[in-house]
Amino acid sequence: MLLGSLIAAHLLPRASAQNAAAPQKRTTLDKRPEFVPGELLVRFRDGTSLARNKSRVSVNVSNGGRSVRVEVNHFGGSELVQGLMLARMAPDDMPAALKALRARSDVVYAEPNYIRYADAVPNDPRYVNLYGLKDPNQSAGGISAESAWNTTTGNQNVVVGVIDSGIDITHADLKDNIFVNTAEVPGNNVDDDNNGFIDDVNGWDFANNDRTVFDSVADDLHGTHVAGTIGAVPNNGIGVAGINWVSQIVPVRVLGKCGGYDSDINDAMVWAAGGSVSGIPANANPARVINLSLGGSGSCDAATQNAVNAALALGTVVVVSAGNSNANAANYSPSSCSGVITVAANTIAGLRARYSNYGTSVEITAPGGNAVSGQLDILSTLNSGITAPTGTGYNYVQYAGTSMAAPHVTGVVSLSVCPRWSNTRVGSHR
């Protein structure tokens, strides 16, 4: 199943308008305008008693012998068009009231009080290359992100854990959405927040058991690319835009040049979700969603399943890549674990990518790139430094794989989940 067909189910509800009942829910493909139930805009003819009315009055209108009670009154700005009123009635009476008002000789027009939304499309110069975020009528393999952004662009109190190689936290298109523990002063070699660890500012490196979350360009480009799809900063005049515009990304490093160990990955899952891991500073900003664009052969083992279960029990959604072996995902881990969202890759045409794992362990597909020379892959954040990231060395490169598909799903889920409001965080977004 394509992610574009499910994105509407992952949206936060819109706030009600003018204290009225919430508007009817719109699906991604439903482009009909929405309106405030029980409200009409009515213009009465100049000179009529209702057009001259300056106070709220109730009138009865008749529709097929049925009497409908309607309350009409002026509203802000209505003096610009004399006789324009806001009419309110019971939502169930709205169709009858609309028909009856339109039939009256003293009414110029009557229409629903429609609800409009901002058309949120980022202005980043390379956004045009992000086929995976487009609506299906523009790209068959797209996820309809633009439709989602008309509802929500994220919540800065929602935390997303990226369990991967390191993340270039200095990247110009990422740094503003990287979590910062503001209780620590970076680089002062002091345990400012008194948690027993010095300068734990952005996340944790489980591979080396230290606070660094980016060791080298040679090792950590994968995590940087994944993070950009989830949360690259939009509308900043550079590069690309992520799916979630404002949520905080916590780098959790578990992979190096030679891969990573289950022992580190499992601890990282528990820690990212807010669980306690011996010898590691408590995670003051538990993730509501974690992304694991990693895996290996062999079905889900007991230790990994236990780590997934712990994360789920803490209220965290776990999104994992299906794998790139063109094989049954049931024979790979963590894609075969219970309770995770396993993501296969589709092409720009919306078809399964030739490399993507498949099978009943897969819940959904998302854009992962074609991996064919000369065809579009997934463009995201990277750094061109030789051994370490440089402030001017950030760049953007196309990768392909289910590793690129999973963060599309993670981004969508992070738009829909609520923050853990009860948590008291040491740090905050900045």
Whole-angstrom Cα distance, residue 146 to residue 12? 15
Domain ranges of the chain: 34-115, 127-416
- Residue 17 burial by Cβ neighbours in a 10 Å radius (0-12, 13-18, 19+): middle
Q: Is 329 helix (H, G, I), strand (E, B) or coil?
A: helix
Whole-angstrom Cα distance, residue 69 to residue 181? 57
Contact predicate 405/226, CB 8 Å:
no
What CATH topology corresponds to 127-416?
Answer: Rossmann fold (3.40.50)
Angle at 64 between CA 59 and CA 67, to 5 degrees: 30
Whole-angstrom Cα distance, residue 175 to residue 168? 8
Q: What is the CA radius of gyration of the chain?
A: 26
Strands 84-88 and 332-333: unpaired
Q: How far is CA 281 from CA 196, 206, 276, 285, 317, in A?
A: 7, 11, 8, 11, 22
Whole-angstrom Cα distance, residue 113 to residue 309? 47
Instruction: Give the contacts of 168 (CB within 8 A, at least 6 positions apart).
Output: 174, 214, 217, 220, 224, 381, 382, 383, 389, 394
Angular region, 414: left φ>0, alpha ψ -120 to 50, beta rest: alpha
Instruction: Give the contacts of 396 (CB within 8 A, at least 6 positions apart).
Output: 126, 228, 239, 240, 379, 380, 381, 382
Residues paired with residue 344 on neighbouring β-strands, in sequence order: 365
pTM: 0.74
**pLDDT computed for residue 218 by the predictor:** 67
**pLDDT computed for residue 31 by the predictor:** 41
DSSP string, 126-164: TGGG-GGGS-TTT-TT---HHHHHTT----TT-EEEEEE
Model confidence pLDDT, tens digit, residues 269-325: 999 999 999 888 888 789 999 999 999 999 999 999 999 999 999 999 999 999 999
Sign of CA dihedral 92, 94, 99, 105: positive
Instruction: Give the contacts of 174 (CB within 8 A, at least 6 positions apart).
Output: 167, 168, 224, 227, 228, 231, 232, 233, 249, 381
Residues paired with residue 296 on neighbouring β-strands, in sequence order: 333
H helices within 244-399, ranges in order? Answer: 262-272, 302-313
**pLDDT computed for residue 18 by the predictor:** 31
Catalytic residues: 164, 222, 403
**pLDDT computed for residue 426 by the predictor:** 32
Q: Is it true that the peptide bond before 13 is cis, omega within 30 degrees of 0?
A: no
**pLDDT computed for residue 374 by the predictor:** 54
Whole-angstrom Cα distance, residue 38 to residue 18? 11
Tell me the residue type at 144: S
**pLDDT computed for residue 25 by the predictor:** 33
Residue ranges of the chain with per-residue pLDDT less than 50:
4-32, 77-80, 386, 421-430
Q: How far is CA 151 from CA 9, 11, 28, 154, in A?
A: 12, 7, 10, 9
Tokens 């503003």: give the residue. 176
